[in-house]
Amino acid sequence: MDFTFFEQDLFGNSLKEFAICIGLLVIGFLLKQFCAGLISRQFFRIIKGFTGNQFSEKFVALERKPLEQFITLLILYFAFDRLKFPESWNLVAVDKIGLRWLISTIYQMALFVVITKILLRATDYFTYFLQNREDSPLSKELANFLKELLKVVIVILCVFATLRFVFSVNITALVASLGIGGLAVALAAQDTLTNLLASFIIYLDKPFKVGDTIENTEISGTIEHVGFRTTRIRTVDKTLLTVPNKKMIDSAMNNITESDIKRVKITLTLTYNSKPAQLLSIIEDIKKAIMNHPQTTENFVVNFIDLEASSLNILVVYFVNGNEYENMLKVKEDLNFKFMEIVEQHGCAFAFPSQTVYLNK
């Protein structure tokens, strides 16, 4: 067979070199998924001494995509490295700004980006492992916080590595020059740093965690996320409230989830037509209604407390088993209907703000 055809020149390269380049691209792209899965499994064998055989498929699933991207970059390098730019283009050397330098810089930056992705996915796996293993010493919230912190460190280190090895920047001089600027930034970001320290306190002291229902004088809702700077809370109205972490630790906070009962306090206001004997009977029947309800505790208070300008006031305080808000509302509704029946049975009526005017005839 005559192979002289492949010796023909095209753009300064033989057809043979173009054929090898295309062949490497086709074979590489056909095998990259298989190779990515194989390499990720080999990587897992390295860390298996720390994690054991748990969640191996999770590791492979996380690392497969960035490894495919890494293999793609290698395929492009080995395929196009065989080709040369035509001498007639008169391109400058790769160490001078021009087309060669631009292609080389873009390729190296892409390589560092992919390596960063591989490290970030590894961080995701270790966080997943620490959260889901049976004897995990870390809470899920603390593991998530450490994951986010480690990711920030990895990104910063990769940015410095890119500046050093791609753009030949003197990192020591760069850090020194940023000293004064960093001080100014730190002063400007004082509130952000305060909230960051507050997030450390939240993770270590654990006054609440994701999923807890909390309330104070200004905030009430369920914790959805605790971040570096803010905490996101889903309110009773189903709106998403974002609160600075500093405010979360500076104010008195009631963690409702940590309580096994909920307190209910109401005041029954009756008209002045009510007789003392009627009030005593109403109080006794209210106590029986509370005691007979299957979801209330044995501790409660029912007392005639005030003679207001337009009403006689009976204070009712009782406790509902469980901390579910919806369940408390249901019990409160049941007893409120019962209280209305009791007041009506004893011939009394509820009062409302009013005045009585007497006129002489």
Question: Hey, which of 90-94, 102-106, 155-159, 337-341 has the most confident mean pLDDT?
Answer: 337-341
Q: How far apart are CA 248 and CA 221, in angstroms?
A: 13
Q: How many CB atoms lie within 10 A of CB 61?
A: 14
Which CATH fold topology does 259-345 show?
Answer: Alpha-Beta Plaits (3.30.70)
Residue-level pLDDT at 45: 85
Beta strands in the chain (DSSP E): 9-10, 13-14, 213-215, 220-226, 230-235, 240-244, 254-255, 261-270, 296-307, 312-321
Tens digits of residue pLDDT in 161-210? 888 888 888 877 766 666 555 555 555 556 777 777 788 788 778 888 88
Tens digits of residue pLDDT in 210-241? 888 888 878 888 888 888 788 899 988 889 99
Question: Reduced to 3 DSSP states, what percent helix, strand and coil does the chain have, rounded to the nearest 5?
Answer: 60, 15, 25
pTM: 0.58
> Which residues 6+ apart lie within 8 Å of 185 measured at CB?
none
Domain ranges of the chain: 4-187, 205-257, 259-345
Tens digits of residue pLDDT in 292-314? 999 999 999 999 999 998 899 99
> Which residues 6+ apart lie within 8 Å of 144 measured at CB?
127, 131, 226
Q: How many CB atoms lie within 10 A of CB 251?
A: 12
Tens digits of residue pLDDT in 102-133? 888 999 999 999 999 999 998 888 888 877 77
Structural contact between residues 40 and 59, judged by C-beta atoms closer than 8 angstroms: yes
Residue 245 pLDDT greater than 90, yes or no: no
Q: Could you check whether 205-257 and 259-345 share the same CATH topology?
A: no
pLDDT band, residue 72 (cuts 50/70/90): very high
> Phi first, then psi: what are they for 241, rounded to 5°?
-105, 130
Mean pLDDT within 42-53:
79
Residue 139 pLDDT greater than 60, yes or no: yes
Tens digits of residue pLDDT in 321-342? 987 878 889 999 999 999 999 9
Query: Distances in Å between the alpha carbon of 300 and those of 198, 320, 337?
Result: 39, 10, 18
CATH code assigned to 205-257: 2.30.30.60
